[in-house]
Amino acid sequence: MRAAAILLPLLLLGACKDEPDFDTRYDKAAKEIEARAKAMDADIAEADRAAKAAGADPADPPALSEPPEPGTE
C-alpha cells in the first residue's frame, strides 16, 4: 500500500507536461498568422486573375446596391 502511495504521485507528476513559454506560443501564433495571410493573398490573386479573364477591371470596386429606405428594414 505504501508503494502505491509513493508511486501514484510520481506517475501523476511524470504525466504532467510543461506549458510552452511565451516565446514558443508567440512563434507558433506568428507562423499561423503568416500562413493565413499567404492563403488570403493567394485567394485575392486568384480572384484578380478570374476577374481579368472575365473582362472586368479588378481595380474597379464592385457596384454597391442602393441602401434600403429608412423604416423599411
Structural domain boundaries of the chain? 20-54
49 φψ region: left (φ > 0), alpha (ψ -120 to 50), beta (else): alpha
Residues 6+ apart with CB under 8 A from 51: 57, 58
pLDDT band at 7 (very low <50, low <70, confident <90, very high): confident
pLDDT at 6: 76
C-alpha cell, 54: 472575365
Q: CA–CA separation, 65 vs 42, rounded Å?
A: 28
pLDDT at 60: 65
Tell me the pLDDT tens digit for each residue of 11-60. Answer: 777 666 788 899 999 999 999 999 999 999 999 999 999 999 988 665 66
